[in-house]
Structure 1
Amino acid sequence: MRKSLVVLLTILAVTNTAEAKLKKSMKKECLICHENWLLEAKLKSPKLLTRQSLTATDKLMCLSCHDGSMADDRLTFLGFNHFSHPVDKEVPEDFKIPKGFPLKKGKLYCGTCHTPHTETGSEKKLDYTFMRKPNVNSALCIACHKENSEHGINHPILEDTNNKIKLEVAEKVKNLGGKLTKENEVTCESCHSAHKGKAEKALIERIDNSNLCSVCHMENVNSKEHPNFRNHPIHKKFPKGADVALFKEKKAITKSVECMTCHKVHREENKHLVVIPEKELCILCHTDQKWVNKTKHNIAGNSCKSCHTPHKAKGKNLWSRTIPEEAYDYASIIEAGGRDDILCLSCHYPQSTVNGKEVPDVGTLTHSTGKGVKEKVHLPLPDGKLSCTTCHDPHHSFDKKPKGKFLRKEKLELCYTCHKEEAEVKEGPHGEIDKKKWKKGDCGACHNVHKAKGGYLSRVVYGEISPMEPPVDGFCLACHDPEGMAKHKVKQSVFNEHPVGVDNPTNKLPGKKISCATCHDPHTHKEELLRIPVRNDSKLCLTCHTDQSLDGTPHDVLNNPNVNLSKEEKEKLTKNGKCSACHTPHNPEFKVLWARKPSRGKTIGEKLCFSCHAKGKMAEKALIGEHSHPIGKEVTEKNIKMIENSKLPIINQMTGHPAKKGEIGVFDCGTCHEPHNGADRKRLIRYVVEGDSPLCTSCHTQQSKVIGTDHDMRVVKKNFKNSLGKEVLKDGVCSACHVPHRAEDDLLWAFKVKEITDNRMSNYCLTCHSKEGTAKEKVVTEYYHPKKDVIVKNLDRPGRAGDWPIFTQNGKRVSIGGEIACETCHEPHIWSKWQEKAPRKPVEGNALNSFLRNRDLKGSICVDCHGLDALYRYKLFHTEKVHSEKPSYK
């Protein structure tokens, strides 16, 4: 109806010539386009795309029908005037329009591509109806834009994309208004739509935010919406310093980093259609890394491509190199734990070659990675942990030297960035090591960061050490050796130095096991490189040996007025600490780290203690005297139980230390004395002696039964003093008769022994039991046994009962040829041996309770000679009544 009305009005207005032609041709539809007219009815329509007057062949002539008033037009001309193929545009002189594609006054117009006179197309082929040439597979587009379809310099189309478009991608293209061939090949119309464009260049999607590229190349995209670390990121700002001007010159996208920033779709001769050669492209943005082109990492002149690729990388950081299994194995061996380490190791693993050249590895002993750093350092820490890239910048060295080692800072500065405390080494003795070759304080004097030769990244090779010793000790000994760099400070003693390899008893010093580095910090400038000073107080030693403080003891020689020290020795002790009076950790003179020349002696205790406790020595005011407690006696099966019960140690003569269970030892100074403190710090003894003399009675258990008897002078005579002038109450019950050192006689006798008889044993008793003695109320006046023509025997035999010892004149106990002494019948420590289990109840005048060894004389040596008369003589032995001029034994 609409068309009929138009035809009718047109016929009424045409000239006679036009009317004749119409009648002749009978093509009424021609009048629709070939008439200069304006429909008044259309002026009021809100759907009109233009209100201008129409002239033949003008684009608006086409819009007189295709104005959006019909639904078909709205779908066909979605991007009209904005994103359609340009019209009314002059064709550049160098752009050659093929024959059959007319221009209007040198400009493109709708008729350039379309004509209603063509036989091409029909209503069944709307995709190229009224086109001057069938646009099958974009043939019409290619006719003009032939240069944009040439192979190699343009985005691939047709056969280049055969079997490369996935079905889901093809569906996305069609939904956006793009077209593919029947075989799903890419054509010009896959990206461009002459009348349905939604973006500049008649594109079906925007190109400035990479949306169009992302339709097909989703696997090559890395954006916030589609993250994929194996591709270069897009929608990102240009980095600071990027050469944006060159991108603008190439008419690339410069508002942000997008696909079309680096790539051109048409007429780009560079590989992968990049705007400039790949060797130069990356460094336009990554200006800080451009120095890599002058380094060894510019492999075969491939620049960034030596290691990186922008799309479908083999690993993180757009890594382009395949990481071999050998690299992963190597990373496991060296315990590489940094985030980017495996990238570096993909080349730097043993026996790796690149372009026929062997690549150096970092060795099996190398600086650790994968560990966190507590303090803030101005170095890269991927994921907050150490990595190869923490110290190395793979693109250049700090000094910009082509043959540099890719270090981020000068070597010393780099080490000290993390190891701030170790920087003190510059001021200490280790800062001067081999200074002809190394800089002062150079870590390389001792350490190799890579390809180290020993533990702790040692630069030096050291020999085998004990499995018990930590590796650091071998590190130290490699230099502190007669042939080493520190030969002026070496181990020269044949005796063991401070033990290493044993458990560290404290967490105040480093290491689970004791090593050189437990006490010494090789990087410090402090005296003797000690972690804790020893000057004056030996604080370092006491950190582990907490129970061996000498404070307040006689062995604190610096504060003991009874010790005479020379000025030189005092200065030495002040410098090395209190412990150094006796011990030294290195080059000892004897066992137990003894710092002094040992004295002569049969036991270790004598050799050590007498080196000071001797005339002319430091402790000459504290000598043990001629008569002192015996030492050197081996522990036998007979007395091992006594020692075990006493809990006093026997001393292992091989080590000088208390014997462990199963070891052989002897009684020695260290059995009773703890030279560092002890229960009695003034006497340095293991148990106190006050009261019941627990130190003595812990071994002498039988003799402890003197407590509470008439020989317990604490009970009998208060304020009783022994020969040293000390009160028995304070020095213990045993001190009434005995002292361990500086005794007056044998048996550690505390008093001077009177020469009353010619038998020493009897004289011990008679010294007190005499008119001027302590026991003058119990004086013995007759105290000898005839010796002339008499041989006394004390032999074990069947039927004999009790213990009846006999003694030589000097007090030695024998079995035959001895004499009867007081101690033959009396045991001075036990009131009555046969009553020893019963409580003591002395009966005055009852001699049988006076410390007698036996209740009667059965089997005794008395009966051997005297028969039954022995009983009478035994009871009255100490009085004159039993004596006569005629010897009784005759």
Structure 2
Amino acid sequence: MSLCCAKHHLKVVVWLSLLFLLPFKVSGSATFLFDLSDDLNQPSAVSILPDGRAVVLDGLNGRIVLFANDGSPQNAFGKTKVKPLKLPMDLAIANQQIIVADSGNHRLVLFDLNGDHLSSLPLPSDKRPAEPTGLVVLGSDVYWSDRGNHRICRTRIKTGETLQCWGKYGEDEDSFRFPFMITADADEYLHVVDVLNGRIQLFNNRGRAFGAISRFGTLPGTLLRPNGIVMDDQGQLFVSDNHQGHISLFRHRRFVGRLADEVGQSIRFDQPVGLARWQDRLYVVEMGKNRVRVFRLNQLGEDASAQITEQQITEPSRKNCVTCHLSWAPGYIPDQVEHPLIPPVADERMCLSCHHGAVIDSRAALKRGHQHPDLHHLDAGQPLKSAAERKESFAGVMPLIDGNTPYCGSCHTPHAKNEEDTGIHPGHENAWMRQSNKDGDLCILCHEAHQNSEAVGDALPQKANHPLGIRLQQPPEEGAKGYAKERVLHKGLPTTLEQHGGRIAENSEMMCESCHRLHGAEGEPLLLLKRSELCAECHPRQETADKEAARHKGIHPVHEKLEQPITIDGRKVTSVECGSCHYPHGALADTPLLNVSKTEQLCQACHEKQHANGREEAREKGIHPMNVKLEKPVRINNQEISEIGCESCHSVHEGRPDTPSLVMEIKAGELCVVCHPRQHAEDKEDARKKGVHPVNMTLDEAVQIGERQIKQVDCLTCHSVHGGKPHTPSLVMKYQAGELCEKCHEAQVKVRDTDHDLRITAPKSQNLLEEQPAHAGLCGSCHSLHRGKDGGSPLYIGATPPADSKEPSSKRDRICLSCHQEKSVAEKVIVDHYDHPFRDLVLRSDPKVLPLLDEKESNAAFGRIGCITCHDPHQWSPAEAEKKGLSPVQTENKKGTVLNSFLRRVGPKGTFCVDCHGLETAVRWKYFHNKRGRPQQADYIR
């Protein structure tokens, strides 16, 4: 140790010895009355109206709150004609006006007592824009401290003209290191708080210096972080110390004690800032608790034993290092409120004592919103996690508590040797970072696993993290790698994210701080906005207000509350948000930030009803099969599909507009036909050739199916891919009793409960698809809408037609004969004789009465006679043809006669049969299938 330092050290020891020999007592006491609190958020100043109402500056909320004498809130205001208040620091009352130091907007703002905005006074800049932080009104002028330029200025209230400014940065007389709040005595001498110099400077109303009160220090009588100041009518000065939490009292420039309670204990506040006096009351703005405390002052008397002479406070002087390094001060005694593991220089109180607005305003970041996890923000009783318990590795240049937990000093230090600015925010570039964080490099020191520099453009992330390094610029060419895909990002980071503190790297690349904010984040984990809002800023295509808007865009809905919570990857999900499916960090590789390897696993969590393993389970649920391998791959939207999954048809974020996020249109069956070409037909003719039900056709009259009016027949007329009835092939209605078919084919469903209802008469029979009637249903026993075997038949799949018939027959006839033959379904009613001459005959009939078969075996006016001419296989009795509804239920199997037996008419009267057979028509009609009714040697012309 040098001789100079040794002498200095000896001086300090002697001074401390003398000081601690003095008995110290507080001077005067105060009785707590009540608090002023109306959801205040880091208030900074309070002033009192002549009638005793308190006016509180609610800093972070940018408003002024008026309280009654009893502490109840009366009114709140602060809206201006141009822009809202931004981080205001002080207010003053004069001539029925409230003047606000609007620091963030570099102006003074005037309101009347009703809260109406009167005017705004712009303030002159010096080296940097003015930052008014303290106010006092004398006559027609307002004096204000300029935090940014270390000066005091005088402005004429009425005109807004700034008349005078004085001061500069330094420790000399009339120099400041961040001037703050101001008060004036009866002789109009200004008392200005000089924050980092730890003193109160005195000036007359023209700026001439008249000395100082107190010095920088940690012991009683000195000031560490003076903030608020107020003087009573007797000239007694009250000064709040933001760091130490005390209020010191001075009289005649001498320290007389600290504010104490009724039992003599010094009252300690959490970040006291502004002070105000009214009658016997003292108002203390306690920023750390978001309230204003109101006390009644008892008789204050000077305590001679508390006086400290000028000689005693000569040392230690205002040394810059001790400004923060309190533990370096001689005789330092640890404070009971200090964290046992954190050095005082990095204690949260130390950081906040400057960053609450007195030196730099970080109120919008610190003690608001979500903060980077550190030792300061551990919940009570929460143990420190070991390095092994943490996911991140903290190896590197970061100092940590116990080698595990970060604190303020882990990232910040005033001793950084960076020649350039280290922060990312304009106006606050020198963030005292341990290394430059312009490109987010500091974050990567701990969170290396979260970087993903290899991911570029729209490629899938290689390391299961949201891509970093994407350039938010116009790409040099369409689809260029390394550039943002969303057009909204070609102009840089969205404005909303910038307003909330988001930044991009100097080369316009995305970095951690493009989404995260370490201090004052809106959402977890440290997000600039709430998680549900953040993604939408960069991905507006995927954002929707509701289900209707989602369908219009063709994407999956978000912000939808679930009827019942579900669990996804161990997380309880109550509403669908981006984060319900996507993991910006820690997702599985080669996925679009998902935590599952197959997308349908994720879809299944919410859409269990729409999920099925195989065809059998799908039919049970009445939905389209899932997880079914195709016999032959197909291409859907330029993607080869070999196995059916959710993504085969759906694109969650890139679906076609006005569809349920489908990759192709479905209205006319465009999507269905890719996998089901056999079931698709262009028109009736094409459908007949394929043996399928016609689609793409318009009905003569609309029909009601469920809640839908159907005029155009397509795939979705009958099928609901995900909402079909259970135990159906994803049909919109049940089909077993013909319920669905009945909607369009009401007359044909009259076959129900007749002999042709094989569910009753032949329950063990099988159609050509090897389906029994109970499974195939009423209509499906004979018809298949998509798998008809015979192109010339109406979707027939009944019993196998006979290979050889006893008499000449048409294909349509052989449909009937397939059942009415030996060893078949209707073997009890075998038809042996059915032929009728047709060559060289001109047969003409009304197709609606007795249809004939043309060359294509379709119902026609001219042609040949077939089974279908006289019989309607769908109704038992001709008398029922004109009746609405179904045939009566048969309680027993009735024997058919010439009056029923699925006949179209009761008799031949009025038919074309009479034209040839005349008087014999009735006999021929009655015995048409009877051998005795036919001439033995008839010369049939064929």
The TM-score normalised by the length of structure 1 is 0.45
Q: Which has the higher helix share?
A: 1
The TM-score normalised by the length of structure 2 is 0.43
Q: Which has the higher strand share?
A: 2
Higher relative contact order (CA 8 A, sep 6+): 2
